[in-house]
Amino acid sequence: MPHYEFFCKACKKTFSKIMTMAEHEAEKASCPHCGSQEVEQRWSAFSAVTSKKSA
């Protein structure tokens, strides 16, 4: 499941949330610290788990 990072403009804190792509498109994230919906999505690292090992 994708991991999204957000920044709250109200309390100036960064938080992350695991959501399906459908949830991300359908609902606006709210800050778990202050409850504000004045949040902006931040770029985050992408990782994938595979069965092959690196050389």
Q: For residue 29, what are the domain limits? A: 3-41
- Tell whether 24 is covered by a domain: yes
What proportion of the chain, given as a percentage, has pLDDT over 90? 44
- Tell whether 15 is covered by a domain: yes
pLDDT for 21: 84
Please tell me whether the overall predicted TM-score, pTM, comes out greater than 0.95 for this model.
no
What values do phi and psi take at 30, rounded to 5? -120, 150
pLDDT for 2: 81
Domain total for the chain?
A: 1
pLDDT for 51: 77
- DSSP run (H or E) holding 21: helix 21-26
Q: What sign has the CA pseudo-torsion 2, 27, 35, 11?
A: positive
pLDDT for 25: 85
Coil, strand or helix: which one is 22? helix
CA distances from 17 to 2, 3, 25, 44, 50 (A): 9, 6, 13, 11, 23
pLDDT for 47: 64
- Tell whether 48 is covered by a domain: no
Mean pLDDT for 10-24 is 90
Please give the single-letter amino acid code of residue 10: A
